[in-house]
């Protein structure tokens, strides 16, 4: 085995502090940003970090934010402005050629602008003119369903509630959000199996767990505040396994910046006992092997299964019928290794399964979540301390937005309650999710697109096709703090409305306002920015929504839009009437220091499912699905002349197909690119393809070679154009055999809108079959730091 470069330092520690300080200086916001860092995640008068959704611990810390959170704060608190003067210097066509990193660093949006086609530039526009134009265009639609209203997870609860109300009063459920692209299988399958599509654990459960199984997660990069809890759990005697095709080097040891002994004496805590390197897409197969062994060896919780569940017999029969040969082929590790994990599960009195998008973003993403839940149910690990399901959301209020009603497939109870409370008819037909909305946009069925935050086109598959489709619309509306790539493909009209950030004060005629968010573990916490807004012309998201509603519906409507935007207590009173668990919302949020926990029935073994039982579910896909896809791809590449001839490539016994997965750099958050240094992966560039060094040697290639990546085009679609990415620089990583990885979102054009999970419709960002071709191109580093 060739030696793989290893990041020898513990995660966090001095490198994290140095990187954070540099990022504050990079954004020229050292003093302003540092003041916000001190207020981040503070229980009284602080704001909730606009980064990830990891919960706040009940213990108070003077500084309670991670490196990634500081980068997000630096991005938001910069005072450089993308104003009319900036846009006067740059055409939109020119800006289309800028990278995400360059756009991220140009500054904060500071005044409303519209696209002027004659000049090919954004030009300043008054708020009033913008609102009038938006209302006029919406009223001209033949049907409300000709508009799509997207939402980002950074939108807080109060404006999210107003936004869904606005859209539904307009007459459509076209309310896709970023959940559709991250944890939708979690919401769908946990909802079906347990009755609520959310985590069943609280943060305190990690302190009592005896076994933590982490599936498809890279906390050191994506939610670093989790590292402290993992280290603490391990110190308490908890066994922790990371199940991941990639050995993430930020998961070995943790140097806690909060511990003086760690920082001064160079100490660190261990976090993970072992890494189980399954193949990409092998999670369901691994879980099948664990479940099979547990059942065949009578290591399951029969009393719990009998009392609280349904569907056990079909699942049991299915598990027993699976062969160990197929299980090994499906997950890529041996029967002995799988049995070793099963024995740990059998001997654990309190097991938490926690997962990220490495589980969900697959065609079989629904199955993956179902099998994790099946395992917990087999062992009776729902509804006891120190155990349960712990999906980790990637955006600070993506879960809260869904709770507030941002959903293209709303529950009937929500629609009925909205009708009763607001005395206004609500649309009954389901709307478009991200995938269906993008397809409708490309097909020309949508005339208006509105985005409340986010970077829709770049976050979704088929980025180029969506960007092109945006140029054919009647109107695009963007509410945000920063310019991004989606805003640079204008239709007949494009309007950008700048809003206040999470770190800035919201002051209205009724005084200073605070909002709320919901974290990954159902905790509702207040958030209140303290900085002076970067521009006097910025408005809160609630105010923008209220103003659009006033211009669209008139002032004689019974819904007090302006009162809601001026006094968030009014919004919360309405939420209390509409959303379960928010009774006495205003009182509860003010009388508890760190908010309150939403009642979760499954924690109390109450199952709000179709049969009032927790449900076992048999997977839809074969556990050898990935292996079968690779075999099919090999055949397709050999026979599809168009796919192979276009890159002058011949597939032979040595040049096999690969499973490609997307990953995020340590220097990014979602689609926001802060820089190019991924210190845990030893690279300072983003145009890379990660591969195990043994595989590089087998091919006769070398680290630093340039390669082109071509995605599998099926035999049934032989006329389709091949999807090609590159040139990329070959870079070493400890990743499973048959697997390669590259950075999201640059790789999104490799993924299509038709390849998704059947129930949740989540795009398969984490698994697609490709072939590789080494090319004689020197890929100079245009984006190296």
Out of 238-247, 599-608, 624-633, least confident range: 624-633
pLDDT score for 47: 85
- Angle of the 365-378 helix axis to the 184-194 helix axis, nearest 10: 40
pLDDT score for 253: 66
pLDDT score for 672: 93
Mean pLDDT throughout 563-570? 98
In sequence order, what E strands does 407-514 have? Answer: 448-452, 475-480, 494-498, 506-508, 511-513
Higher-pLDDT residue of 641, 479: 479
Does residue 222 have a pLDDT over 90? no
Tell me which H or E stretch contains 255: strand 253-255
The single residue listed with the structure tokens 């769908």 is 188
**Burial label, 85 (beta-carbon count in 10 A; 0-12, 13-18, 19+):** exposed
Cβ-contact 383, 200 below 8 angstroms: yes
Mean pLDDT throughout 619-640? 82
Cβ-contact 259, 241 below 8 angstroms: no
Rounded Cα distance, 575 and 579, in Å: 6
Which among 57-61, 142-146, 527-531, 651-655 has the top mean pLDDT?
Answer: 142-146
In sequence order, what E strands does 29-173 have? Answer: 81-82, 108-109, 113-116, 121-124, 147-151
Rounded Cα distance, 11 and 256, in Å: 8
Rounded Cα distance, 187 and 196, in Å: 8
Cβ-contact 231, 271 below 8 angstroms: yes
Cβ-contact 440, 148 below 8 angstroms: yes
pLDDT score for 267: 60
Out of 116-130, 339-353, 376-390, 589-603, least confident range: 589-603
In sequence order, what E strands does 523-650 have? Answer: 523-527, 596-597, 614-615
User: What are the tokens at 442?
Assistant: 């490309």
pLDDT band at 650 (very low <50, low <70, confident <90, very high): very low
Does residue 195 have a pLDDT over 60? yes
pLDDT band at 782 (very low <50, low <70, confident <90, very high): very low
| Residue 650 region by backbone torsions, left for phi larger than 0, else alpha for psi between -120 and 50, else beta | beta
Mean pLDDT throughout 664-690? 92
As a 3-state breakdown, the chain gives helix, strand, coil percent values, each rounded to 5, of: 40, 20, 40
Rounded to 5 degrees, what angle do the CA atoms 9, 10, 15 make?
70
pLDDT band at 1 (very low <50, low <70, confident <90, very high): very low
CA-wise closest residue to 67 among 102, 28, 22: 22
CA-wise closest residue to 762 among 399, 512, 438: 438
pLDDT score for 60: 67
pLDDT score for 574: 98
Rounded Cα distance, 322 and 361, in Å: 24
Indicate if the alpha-carbon torsion angle 357, 360, 361, 364 is positive or negative. Answer: positive
Higher-pLDDT residue of 504, 641: 504
Cβ-contact 596, 523 below 8 angstroms: yes
Rounded Cα distance, 459 and 744, in Å: 8
Note the Cα 190 to chain centre separation in Å.
17
pLDDT band at 180 (very low <50, low <70, confident <90, very high): very high
Cβ-contact 470, 450 below 8 angstroms: no
The single residue listed with the structure tokens 């299980």 is 327
Does residue 39 have a pLDDT over 50? yes
Q: What is the mean pLDDT of the chain?
A: 91
Note the Cα 601 to chain centre separation in Å.
25
Rounded Cα distance, 114 and 678, in Å: 36
pLDDT score for 11: 59
Cβ-contact 28, 38 below 8 angstroms: no
Mean pLDDT throughout 518-524? 94
**Full-model pTM:** 0.94
| End-to-end alpha carbon distance in the chain | 31
């Amino acid at each position: 085995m060739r030696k793989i470069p290893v990041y020898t330092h513990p995660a966090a520690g001095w490198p994290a502090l140095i990187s954070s300080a540099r990022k504050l200086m990079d954004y020229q916001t050292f003093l302003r940003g540092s003041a916000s860092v001190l207020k981040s995640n503070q229980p009284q008068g602080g704001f909730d970090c606009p980064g990830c959704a990891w919960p706040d611990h009940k213990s108070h810390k003077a500084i309670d934010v991670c490196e990634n959170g500081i980068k997000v704060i630096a991005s938001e608190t910069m005072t450089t402005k993308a104003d009319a003067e900036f846009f006067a210097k740059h055409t939109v066509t020119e800006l289309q050629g800028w990278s995400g990193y360059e756009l991220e660093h140009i500054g904060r949006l500071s005044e409303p602008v519209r696209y002027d086609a004659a000049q090919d530039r954004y030009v300043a526009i008054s708020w009033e003119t913008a609102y009038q134009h938006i209302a006029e265009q919406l009223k001209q639609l033949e049907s409300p369903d000709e508009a799509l209203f997207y939402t980002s997870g950074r939108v807080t609860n109060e404006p999210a509630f107003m936004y869904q109300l606005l859209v539904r009063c307009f007459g459509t459920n076209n309310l896709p959000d970023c959940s559709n692209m991250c944890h939708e299988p979690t919401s769908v399958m946990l909802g079906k199996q347990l009755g609520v599509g959310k985590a069943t654990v609280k943060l305190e459960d990690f302190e009592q767990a005896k076994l933590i199984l982490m599936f498809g997660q890279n906390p050191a990069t994506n939610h670093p505040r989790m590292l402290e809890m993992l280290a603490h759990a391990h110190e308490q005697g908890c066994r922790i396994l990371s199940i991941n095709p990639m050995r993430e080097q930020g998961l070995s040891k943790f140097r806690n910046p909060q511990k003086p002994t760690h920082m001064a004496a160079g100490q660190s805590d261990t976090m993970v006992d072992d890494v189980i390197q399954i193949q990409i897409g092998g999670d369901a197969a691994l879980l099948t092997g664990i479940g099979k062994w547990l059942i065949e060896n009578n290591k399951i919780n029969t009393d719990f299964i009998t009392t609280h569940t349904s569907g056990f017999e079909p699942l049991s029969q299915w598990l027993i019928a699976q062969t160990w040969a197929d299980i090994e082929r499906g997950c890529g590790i041996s029967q002995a290794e799988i049995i070793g994990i099963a024995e740990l599960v059998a001997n654990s009195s309190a097991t938490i399964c926690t997962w990220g998008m490495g589980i969900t973003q697959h065609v079989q993403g629904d199955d993956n979540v179902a099998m994790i839940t099946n395992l917990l149910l087999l062992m009776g690990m729902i509804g006891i301390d120190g155990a349960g399901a712990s999906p980790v959301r990637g955006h600070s209020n993506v879960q809260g937005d869904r709770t507030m009603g941002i959903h293209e497939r709303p529950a009937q109870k929500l629609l009925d309650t909205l009708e009763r409370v607001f005395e206004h008819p609500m649309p009954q037909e389901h709307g478009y999710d991200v995938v269906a909305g993008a397809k409708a946009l490309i097909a020309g069925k949508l005339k208006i697109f509105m985005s409340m935050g986010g970077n829709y086109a770049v976050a979704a598959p088929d980025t180029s096709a969506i960007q092109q489709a945006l140029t054919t619309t009647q109107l695009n509306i963007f509410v945000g703090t920063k310019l991004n790539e989606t805003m640079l493909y204008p239709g007949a009209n494009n309007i950008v409305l700048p809003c206040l950030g999470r770190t800035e004060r919201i002051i209205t005629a009724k005084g200073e306002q605070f909002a709320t968010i919901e974290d990954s573990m159902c905790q509702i916490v207040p958030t209140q920015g303290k900085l002076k807004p970067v521009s006097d012309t910025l408005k809160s998201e609630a105010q923008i929504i209220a103003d659009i509603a006033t211009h669209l519906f008139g002032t004689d409507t019974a819904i007090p839009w302006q009162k809601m935007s001026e006094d968030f207590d009014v919004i919360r009173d309405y939420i209390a009437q509409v959303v379960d668990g928010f009774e006495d919302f205003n009182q509860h949020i003010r009388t508890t220091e760190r908010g309150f926990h939403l009642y979760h029935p499954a924690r109390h073994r109450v199952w709000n499912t179709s049969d009032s039982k927790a449900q076992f579910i048999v997977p839809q896909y074969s556990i050898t699905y990935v292996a079968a896809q690779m075999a099919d791809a090999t055949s397709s590449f050999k026979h599809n002349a168009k796919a192979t001839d276009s890159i002058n490539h011949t597939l032979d016994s040595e040049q096999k197909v690969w499973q490609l997965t997307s990953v995020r750099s340590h220097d990014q958050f979602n689609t926001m690119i802060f820089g190019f240094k991924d210190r845990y992966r030893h690279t300072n560039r983003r145009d890379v393809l990660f591969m195990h060094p043994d595989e590089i040697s087998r091919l006769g290639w070398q680290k630093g070679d340039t390669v082109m990546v071509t995605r599998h085009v099926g035999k049934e679609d032989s006329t389709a154009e091949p999807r090609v990415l590159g040139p990329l620089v070959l870079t070493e990583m400890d990743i499973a055999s048959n697997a390669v990885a590259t950075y999201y979102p640059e790789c999104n054009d490799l993924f299509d809108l038709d390849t998704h999970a059947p129930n949740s419709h989540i795009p398969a960002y984490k698994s697609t079959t490709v072939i590789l071709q080494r090319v004689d191109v020197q890929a100079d580093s245009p984006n190296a730091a």
